[in-house]
């Protein structure tokens, strides 16, 4: 049976009872099958699994969707139980930030954290890394599972763990997609039928890019052909999120809005050779 705790004190007590190798799956809740894939991977690599459920206000700017972000804790715990998680930590904002957010010691992501998502959402990765660092210290995992859909986030977490000598294995889990190709996201529920149809230009752009020797141009053409999509960025980076190579394996990253819902996606590509 999965144990649900809400306080750091209860988490510390429950953590001491976990045996063997421990993996953590950090989430903001509203769990879907993409999270389920992370849970399954965590069970494969560890003896005990902790899931954190926390909608982190540090990741949201004033004009973003913090208040309407879906919160479904009962369903989240049910999914965790069905996948054999041992422990769910679902703290309040006051529990995580008892002295408030003003003047809070934070973890800065460095120059790469100011690109792409960081440029569109200033301070976003400081919020991500700060809360992930806190959750790592609280859960004391041997490994942590993150989905590749948030590829820049994955790269930033890996960099933090390496730079701060945290000694945690960061395990990437491939993006889970719905039947029509759209990457699973907690925000997909906000899409109207017309907006969802427009959003399908994103996986179509990825497919076009993967078939082209010039992936960036192919993706841009596909996205530009969909008037219902407001594209934020289309970019190519190295497979480790470094600068894009001139040839060879790389990563295509896309962010766009369908209506008011912001979606991100990415996929591996090869520059300079058709596939």
- State the pLDDT at residue 103: 85
pLDDT at 125 over 70: yes
- State the pLDDT at residue 128: 97
Q: What is the rounded distance in angstroms from the CA atom of residue 93 to the CA atom of residue 239?
A: 34
- State the pLDDT at residue 69: 83
274 confidence band (pLDDT: 50, 70, 90): low
Does this model's pTM top 0.75?
Answer: yes
- Contact between 132 and 113 under an 8 Å Cβ cutoff? The reply is no
* Domain residue ranges of the chain, discontinuous segments joined by +: 3-173, 186-267
- Contact between 241 and 151 under an 8 Å Cβ cutoff? The reply is yes
Edge-first strand order for the sheet with 3-5 is: 3-5, 87-89, 48-53, 22-27, 143-147, 169-173
Q: Do domains 3-173 and 186-267 have the same CATH topology?
A: no
Kind of pairing between the strands at 143-147 and 22-27: parallel
Using CA atoms, how far residue 252 sits from 123, 217, 237, in Å, is 23, 11, 7
The length of the chain, given as a count of residues: 275
What's the CATH number for 3-173?
Answer: 3.40.50.620
Active site residues: 35
| Topology classification of domain 186-267 | 3.30.1300
Q: How many helices (H) and strands (E) does the chain have?
A: 10, 9
Q: Which residues pair with 177 in a beta bridge?
A: 183
For 53-102, write each residue's pLDDT tens digit.
999 999 988 777 788 888 999 999 999 999 999 999 999 999 999 998 88
């Amino acid at each position: 049976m999965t144990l649900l705790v809400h306080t750091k004190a209860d988490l510390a007590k429950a953590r001491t009872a976990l045996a063997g190798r421990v993996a953590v799956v950090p989430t903001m809740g509203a769990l879907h099958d993409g999270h389920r894939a992370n849970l399954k991977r965590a069970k494969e690599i560890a003896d005990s699994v902790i899931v954190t459920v926390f909608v982190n206000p540090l990741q949201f700017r004033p004009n973003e969707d913090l208040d309407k972000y879906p919160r479904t804790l009962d369903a989240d715990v049910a999914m965790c139980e069905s996948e054999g998680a041992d422990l769910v930590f679902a703290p309040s904002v006051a529990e995580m930030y008892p002295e408030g957010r003003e003047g809070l010691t934070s973890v800065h992501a460095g120059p790469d954290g100011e690109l792409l998502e960081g440029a569109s959402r200033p301070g976003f990765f400081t919020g991500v890394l700060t809360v992930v660092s806190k959750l790592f210290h609280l859960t004391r995992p041997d490994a942590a599972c993150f989905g590749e859909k948030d590829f820049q986030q994955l790269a930033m977490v890996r960099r933090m763990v390496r730079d701060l000598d945290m000694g945690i294995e960061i395990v990437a889990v491939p993006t889970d997609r719905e039947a029509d190709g759209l990457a699973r996201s907690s925000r997909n529920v906000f899409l109207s039928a017309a907006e969802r149809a427009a959003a399908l230009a994103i996986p179509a752009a990825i497919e076009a890019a993967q078939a082209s020797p010039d992936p960036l141009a192919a993706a841009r053409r596909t996205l530009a052909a969909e008037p219902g999509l407001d594209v934020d960025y289309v970019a190519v980076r190295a497979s480790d999120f470094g600068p894009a190579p001139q040839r060879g394996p790389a990563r295509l990253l896309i962010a766009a809005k369908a209506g008011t819902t912001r979606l991100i996606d990415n996929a591996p590509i090869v520059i300079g050779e058709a596939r």
